[in-house]
Structure 1
Amino acid sequence: MRAATVPTSVTAVVVAYDSAHALPDCLGALARDGVPAIVVDNASTDGSAEAAARLGAAVIRNGVNEGYGRANNRGVAAATTPFVLIINPDVILDPGAVAALLDAAARYPDAGLLAPMLIEPDGRVFFQPRSLLAPYLRNPAGVEWLPEGDCCAPFLSGAVFLMRRDLFTVLGGFDENIFLFYEDDDLCRRIADAGHALVHVAGAVARHGRGRSSAPAPGRIFRGRWHQAWSRAYVSRKYGLPNPAPAMALKNAVKALGAALLFNRGRMARYGGSAAGAIAALRGVDALDYQGILDRRKGF
């Protein structure tokens, strides 16, 4: 009975950016359980859109890389089912995971977001119930502990989760001012502020190939760390938290200089990107303008 209810009640939304290598396993697992998928391609150059179409997914092609949150919002807008499953292309669901999430949604009607148990490549379970935006049950030390069953949490990873489509829409989806990073923290905070629970569902299992969503490319580490620093400063400002940008800029600039003296290019890219993103936030640079995205975006 479970398998019969899945295709009519949920649509998966997968954002791809040079993800052709990861899509077959991700989409194959969804197809096995009868879950239709919409792939939103962020101007990939590796044939991701064509691969997704061959694998039976509906494809939305963005002319430019619009970022993770904006692309997911576009995919959800195209869905018509009561539920949407946001899933990264490097996540593979175990058989029955979607049905288990839907069963949990029926058991917990106050749940705003439901996420499966996420297993990392080394076999560890990712469960760190903390976020700088969490309004309750703060865990600043990041102590890892695993629940023995379903539980509520102040933060759940955006790598894969189930939501009612109408709630996602009412809340405005992902914040479109963010290009990359902290979109899930922000969404979790708004779900909690709206009075809904974030539920970790132990009976649903997903395998996370962390870092495999996009193929390596020159400059990607620098840009990723730029956005990570910028987005942290942005969400801190949005929720009235202390501005982390000055400390991030100073600390990472010093580390980048040390890496340069040692001719360590990898560390130069990481620390230099973080310093540059923090400085950009201090200067009022917009992350979408940095990416060359010039159309209108949502404010807060």
Structure 2
Amino acid sequence: MPADDLPPTQETVTAIVVAYDSAEVLPACLDALAGEGVPAIVVDNASGDASAKVARAHGATVIVNPRNQGYGRANNQGVAACRSPFVLIVNPDLVLQPGAVAALLAAAERYTDAGMFAPRIVEPSGRIFIQPRSLLSPAHLNAASAAVVPDGDACLPFLSGACLLVRREIFLSLGGFDPRIFLFYEDDDLCRRMRDSGHALVHVHAAEAQHARGRSSKPSPARRFNARWHLAWSQAYVAAKHGLPAPPLGSVLKNAAKTVGYALILNQIKMMAHAGSVAGGIAWRRGQTALTRQKLAAEGPGA
């Protein structure tokens, strides 16, 4: 796998940033990491823009994938390429604020039974994002309206995959992100497995990150279709993996009706989004895999 100048093995933490047409947002992300003294590995998922060039110009190590390997599989590549005891998984449209990494590492020293830590994620509106619910969450916690923003450190059932400090040894012992998932629910699945293995998940209030959600790559009808295909497929896959009921057939029919409705009013973006949901749901029922759709080998990078 092409890579250049991997970071020193004695570093405490290495950041892993998965890029896909992310040239516009990478500079701020990587500059913030450099300001925190954190070396970064950027795994470029076959971007069509200058993401790899931008990453190198900002001092990052770059692994270039000839094909898009998906979010979890690409992060697995990055984690495998470093040797630091901690890895910091960071979305390219997220900017860590000064002192955030130090606060996360200090929390790791305080909470030795915890496996993953997440900063206080602040959106452009000023809202603090807390993962309010998940398909894999216990029923009594699975209510967005009941979500409470902690005013200090707190154990949570799930953490956002936008930024995670993870003990590398535990990450590897759990098999990393599930390589059968191309996109969506990979962070929920990892959180669930982390909790099931006896390791707490900690929200670290003193660590702040600014997150411009949805700006990792530019949208298009084709990308919206593909994203919603994987959202529907991954939901069904993760439910089956953890012994939960499959999404009802009615959800496919509902999305089919919305596809027709948006086609009639010529809203291409929303039409393609709902069409993708229909296709992903049907593909799951037919036994098609996410990797088959992306023409990826199960034993390839990230597996």
TM surpasses 0.5: yes
* 1:119 Cα deviation from its structure 2 partner: 0.6
Per-residue CA shift, 1:175-196, capped at 9, x if unaligned? 0000000000000000000001
- Name the CA distance, whole Å, in 2 between partners of 1:296 and 1:128: 31
- Give the aligned partner of residue 36 of structure 1: 39
Corresponding residue for residue 253 of structure 1: 256
Partner of residue 145, structure 1: 148
1:134 and 2:137 are equivalent in the alignment:
yes
Partner of 1:227: 230
How far apart, CA to CA, are the structure 1 residues paired with 2:245 and 2:300? 24
Q: What residue identity is the alignment partner of 1:231?
A: S
SS at match of 1:35: coil
Among candidates 44, 63, 67, match of residue 60 of structure 1? 63
Q: Using the alignment, how far apart are the partners of 1:196 and 1:264 within structure 2?
A: 45
> Residue by residue, what CA displacement relative to the aligned partner does 1:29-73 show, whole Å, maximum 9, x if unpaired?
000111000000001110111110111001111110000000000
Contact 1:84 1:162 in 2 (8 A): yes
C-alpha contact 1:33 1:96 (8 A) present in aligned 2: yes
The answer on 1:114 being equivalent to 2:106 is no
**What letter corresponds to residue 110 of structure 2 in structure 1?**
R
Q: How does 1:70-109 map to 2 (within 5 A)?
A: 70-109=73-112
Aligned-pair distance for 1:136? 7.4
Q: 1:285: Cα distance to partner? A: 0.9
2:173 to 154, 170, 177: 170
Structure 1 CA distance, aligned partners of 2:56 and 2:267?
41
Q: What residue number does 2:212 align with? A: 209
Equivalent residue letter for 1:271: H
RMSD: 1.7
Q: What residue in structure 2 maps to residue 184 of structure 1?
A: 187
- C-alpha contact 1:245 1:281 (8 A) present in aligned 2: no
CA contact (8 A) 1:178 1:287 kept: yes
Name the counterpart of 1:272. Answer: 275
- Counterpart Cα distance in 1 of 2:59 and 2:140: 42
More off after superposition, 287-296 vs 36-45: 287-296
Q: Compared with structure 1, are the counterparts of its residues 87 and 238 closer, same or farther at alpha carbon in structure 2 (3 Å cutoff)?
A: same
Distance 1:189 1:218 in 2: 32
CA distance in 1, matches of 2:31, 2:88: 15
Provide the C-alpha distance between the structure 2 equivalents of 1:47 and 1:245, rounded to a whole number of angstroms: 41
- Contact between 2:221 and 2:273, CA under 8 Å: does it hold in 1? no
Does 2:300 match 1:294? no
1:239-283 deviation digits (Å, cap 9, x = unpaired): 110100523211111111111222221221111111111111111
So what's the TM-score if we normalise by structure 2?
0.93
**d(CA) in 1 for partners of 2:145, 2:45:** 33
Cα shift at 1:142: 4.2
Determine which of 69, 73, 77 is the counterpart of 2:72: 69
- Matched residue SS, 2:146: coil
- Aligned partner of 1:285 in structure 2 is 288
Instruction: Give the length in aligned residue pairs.
Output: 293
Gaps of 5+ in 1: 1-6
CA–CA distance in structure 1, aligned partners of residues 92 and 158 of structure 2: 21
- 1:135 shift after superposition: 4.4
Q: Secondary structure at the match of 1:8?
A: coil
Aligned to 1:21: 24
Distance of 1:154 and 1:22 partners within structure 2:
29
Q: In 2, distance between residues paired with 1:217 and 1:239?
A: 32
Q: What is the CA deviation profile of residues 76-104 of structure 1, one whole-angstrom value per residue up to 9, with x for unaligned ones?
A: 00111110000000000000100000000
Relative to the length of structure 1, the TM-score reads 0.94
Instruction: Choose which of 231, 241, 244 in structure 2 pairs with 1:238.
Output: 241
Quick one: which of 262, 266, 272 aligns to 2:265?
A: 262
| Structure 2 letter corresponding to 1:117 | R
* CA distance in structure 2 between the partners assigned to 1:294 and 1:202 by the alignment: 40
C-alpha contact 1:128 1:142 (8 A) present in aligned 2: no
Whole-Å Cα distance in 2 between the matches of residues 167 and 266 of structure 1? Answer: 40
Q: Which runs of 5+ in 2 are unaligned?
A: 1-9
